Amino acid sequence: MEARRLKQLAQGEFEIKNWSEKSAGALAGPKVTRATVTQKFTGDIKGTATAEYLMDYRPDKTAQYSGVQIIKGSVGGLQRRTVSSTRS
Reported as a single tens digit per residue, the pLDDT across 9-67 is 888 999 999 999 999 977 788 899 999 999 999 998 899 999 999 999 999 999 999 99
The answer to whether position 55 is within a domain reads yes
The answer to whether position 3 is within a domain reads no
| 1, pLDDT greater than 60 | no
- Residue span of the structural domain in which 41 resides: 34-87
The answer to whether position 81 is within a domain reads yes
Does 78 or 72 have the greater pLDDT score? 72
Q: What is the pLDDT of residue 65?
A: 94
The answer to whether position 5 is within a domain reads no
The answer to whether position 4 is within a domain reads no
- Please count the structural domains in the chain: 1
Distances from the Cα of 67 to the Cαs of 15, 41, 78, in angstroms? 18, 18, 25
The answer to whether position 54 is within a domain reads yes
The answer to whether position 6 is within a domain reads no
